[in-house]
Structure 1
Amino acid sequence: MKRITSVAGPTWMGRMARGALLSGLMATLLAACAVGPKYQRPEVDTPAAFKEAPAATAENTGTWKLAEPADAAHRGQWWTVFGDAKLNELEEQALAANQDLKAAAARVQQSRAVQNAARSALFPQIGAGFGPTREHFSPASQFLPENAQGPQTTLWRAQTTVSYEADLFGRVSSNVAAARADTQQSEALFRSVQLSLQADVAANYFSLRELDTEQELYRRTVALREDGLKLVEQRFKEGDISELDVAQAKNELASARADAVGVARQRAASEHSLAILLGKAPAEFSLAEMPLDPATVRVPPGLPSALLERRPDVAAAERAMQAANARIGLAKSAYFPQLDVTGAFGFESASLGDLFKWSSRAFLLGPAAGAALTLPLFDGGRRKAGVEQAKGQYDENVAQYRQQVLIAFREVEDNLSDLRLLDDQIRQQNDAVEASERASHLSDTQYREGEVNYLNVLDSERTVLVTQRQASQLNGAQAVATVNLIRALGGGWGDAGTVQVGATDTQAPKEAKQ
């Protein structure tokens, strides 16, 4: 008996090993037969150059090439090109404390966790258990008389369980690919939120500085109105003019003061908005007044193909397409067999004292249903509906991607045209300011000499204030348009132009770990 046992043991183990090897090879071959469509980026109409860009040269555009996703590339601290130390400080505060950015980083963490959960299906799931099972057998199952007492038994088990779903026809790998694309989309959306935050801080900052310039204009205007009122009152006392001029001078002074309060109200609201971007309560933030310096930065637009590489929102739209494409394969895999392998290895005994004896060892290997592959034969069209839904989702994402590309091109063209036309408008407005100041000086001189009435002086001063405010607003619009162009181009830029930025950047993976 001993010799027979020694021979049978290896033979049985050999057959089991060969069966497992054949099953593994079959699963591997079937896993290679993925049924999902191969992902290819849809074509979009890409112009060779921007219509509103300056005349293209080899130095400021680079060489044409097909767009390749580069949304994760370093963008640098692009705001430093404005040379404003306070802006640099505010940008760093916003990146450290803005709550919308923290929420976007948390969404990246969630998507990565979902991806890891999907990847876990590629590996066996292993567990362990220990405990008794109390069983009562029916008399019929034991071929006993109807009124007989069925036997009862207690089984103690200490086992390790293993379960594994073979990746047949790309069922598991398609789900992993979709989860991976979802994670990449979440990271691209994080970078989009980050870029929007940086641009919003800069645009709000320049708008605030433009209001500071207006406040300075109104202070000077109020001071001039006060001097003018003193002059009018003096001439009225001397009998040179009527009381009408005094009333008109007081009206202009009060109007200037009221307008100055209106600008201060706008500045307070802008300051509060900036505080929220920095992650602070408005009561905890104040910014000292400082007039705006005209922005002299000139941003090279580069090539439209480069725009598609760097825009994080365009990259996010493409990752959504990639995820939808993988889910088509996942839906199609439902038409093919599914193989679930389970196993239990350990000890089983009727008494706890005998549980860990060598003779108490037991195992279970194979699908619980007893069939190697399972395949639903009829489901009322559920699988077909799932495939159609996945295809519809993909088509929707393709349309959204192409629409996002069109929006990106439009935003760049809008800001390029704004900057080009603002340059001309600012030059003309500066001429208007000089002319109005000259006319105001002449009317004031003529009024003092008694050649014109006070209405001429008031009209000239109003014109000066209006032209100066318009010039200030145009300078603010130019600075904001420059920021918006950088935003539309996807952030910082490389060597395709004369302006260089820093080489460091806050990446989504770092933010997501905080």
Structure 2
Amino acid sequence: MITAAHSLNPLRRALALALAGLLLGGCAIGPDYQRPEQSVPVQFKHAEGWSLASPADLGHRGRWWELYDDATLNELQQRLETSNQTLAQSVAQYRQAQALARGARASFFPSVGLSTGKTRSGQGGGDSTVRLADGSTVTSSGGGGVSKSYDANLGVNWEVDLWGKLRRQLESDTAGMEASAADLAAARLSLQSELAQNYLQLRVLDAQKRLLEETIAAYQRSLTLTQNQYRAGIVTKADVAQATTQLKTTQAQAIDLKYQRAQLENAIAVLIGVPPAEFSLAEVDSVPALPTIPTLLPSQLLERRPDVASAERQVMSANAQIGVAKSAYFPSLNLSAAGGYRSGSLSDWITTPNRFWSIGPEFAMTLFDGGLIRSQVAQAEASYDQTVAAYRQTVLDSFREAEDYMVQLDVLEEESGVQLEALEAAREALRLVTNQYKAGTLDFNSVVNNQATALNSERTVLTLAGSRLTTSVQLIAALGGGWDQAQLEQVDSDSEQLP
């Protein structure tokens, strides 16, 4: 039997090796992460005329759709958060990344296993193995006796992180988890933006429908007037045909809006996770007003866009994987201990004379692999370069999107001003021509042409209003919506507290 004094020596040696490993592990193999260099302009090219966002503005963007001051839109956004199935997929992907990060943390701790078993064996002549009814096996060599062995074993194994391999893996998995959290935020923002755009376009269609209904009523009165004049012999039947054509064409346009509205309504239903047959939106008498949208500095954009944050976290993960690959050049240290009971008889199995134990360190190192480790390091470095390029491209795309939507809003505002002037002129021309027609100094063809011009101008004004609303949503999304990179710190903190 091994005495207690003898058993302490290997234990002490193992603890000393573990302590040395922890001290050596203070510096992990591989490069420490640094954000890739990226050219960032001082301000946007089209920032003139825009006000810079203040902290209060940024705080309000936490629920950025509230800028449109529409209770129905607010309710739909809440339903999207709880019921959208695309978002549910992204949430599940994020949970997978969380679990992977927790698994990386678990590798820092020893693993403990317990096993029990029964073995039947024999010796002698020819080899034969028989599986018994109780599930155990008997191995015998013709004519030899059969022996039984009962084992109960408790084992502990711990890989000491000498070269920082485990820490680099944890860095990689944590960065991957944060990238997944940013991807989730980007997916959420994209869906919120899509919902807001569909809803605002639907309200613009409602306004166009009201315009067409008012116009149809006016054209109906014009047709009645023309028919009366025709019966009185004042105008020709051609005028009646023109008035009828104009009325029916406008009615057809109004019917076409039903299909467009139904498409938007169905798209909204899917976004909030309900079948289109179970969802409808009542018409309202107004279109949400265009909100004031303060902009950010380009440098701030890097902290506000979840897709940029995700791309950078991918770079961090790839950088850590270089250290993981390089650690294969160095030996690994495993500390293991095992103890238990072994007996040939079940009756005295768990007794002091039948106990056993073992403890000791194990160094392992690859001496020759034909260049496998070198190739794995090269792969990790190439992967890092790829993620750096992807990050820089994502940053450039974010700048472009913000610039595009800012200039688009400016152009649409200018265009809307000119179009409103054209509408006022068209209304005045229609008023004058209608009076002249009633007085008999102009033919009905002049009235029809001016009515068509006025209607087209009215619809163009509404179309531009819809385009400005849609572009405003796109700009808010391009500026990061209500997201901020500081949220990733909370993501990491919450993950550390998970069991």
TM-score by length of 2: 0.89
Shift of 1:61: 5.7
Structure 1 residues 18-29: aligned runs within 5 Å: 18-29=12-23
Deviation of 1:40 (Å): 0.6
Whether the 8 Å CA contact 1:225–1:249 is kept in 2: the answer is yes
Q: How does 1:70-469 map to 2 (within 5 A)?
A: 75-136=61-122, 153-293=147-287, 295-366=289-360, 372-469=362-459
- Deviation string 1:323-354 (CA, Å, 9 cap, x unpaired) is 11111111111111122333221111221222
1:62, 1:281 → 2: CA distance? 41
Task: Give the conservation status (yes or no) of the 8 Å contact 2:207–2:287.
Answer: no
Q: Distance in 2 between matches of 1:229 and 1:55?
A: 48
Query: Structure with the greater relative contact order (CA < 8 A, sep ≥ 6): 1 or 2?
Result: 1
User: Contact conserved, 1:105 with 1:508, CA < 8 A, in 2?
Assistant: no
Q: State the one-letter code of the partner of 1:412.
A: A
- Give the gaps of 5 or more residues in structure 2: 126-140
State the alpha-carbon separation in 1 of the partners of residues 244 and 452 from structure 2: 14
Distance 2:315 2:224 in 1: 72
The residue identity in structure 2 corresponding to 1:50 is: F
* Cα distance in 2 between the residues matched to 1:36 and 1:137: 54
Which residue of structure 1 aligns with residue 133 of structure 2?
none
Q: 1:62 to 1:217 in 2, by over 3 A?
A: closer
Please say if residues 295 and 478 of structure 1, whose CA atoms lie closer than 8 Å, have aligned partners that are also in contact: no
**Structure 1 equivalent of residue 131 of structure 2:** none
The letter for the 1-side match of 2:196 is A
Q: State the number of aligned residues.
A: 476
| Residue in structure 2 matched with residue 67 of structure 1 by the alignment | none
What TM-score, normalized by structure 1, do the two folds share? Answer: 0.87
In the TM superposition, what are the counterparts of 1:46-61 in structure 2 within 5 Å?
A: 46-55=40-49, 60=52
* Contact 1:190/1:508 (8 A) holds in 2: no
**Structure 1 runs (4+) greater than 4 angstroms displaced:** 147-152, 507-513
Are the equivalent residues in 2 in contact too, given 1:105–1:511 (CA < 8 A)? Answer: no
Q: Secondary structure at the match of 2:269?
A: helix
C-alpha change, 1:18 and 1:342, in structure 2 (3 Å) is closer
Counting aligned pairs with the same residue, the percent is: 39
Whole-Å Cα distance in 2 between the matches of residues 168 and 458 of structure 1?
88
Letter in 1 for 2:216: V
Instruction: Give the deviation of 1:98 after TM superposition.
Output: 1.0
Counterpart for residue 143 of structure 1: none
Give 3-state SS (helix, strand or coil) of 1:126's partner. strand
Cα pair distance change 1:355/1:511, threshold 3 Å: closer
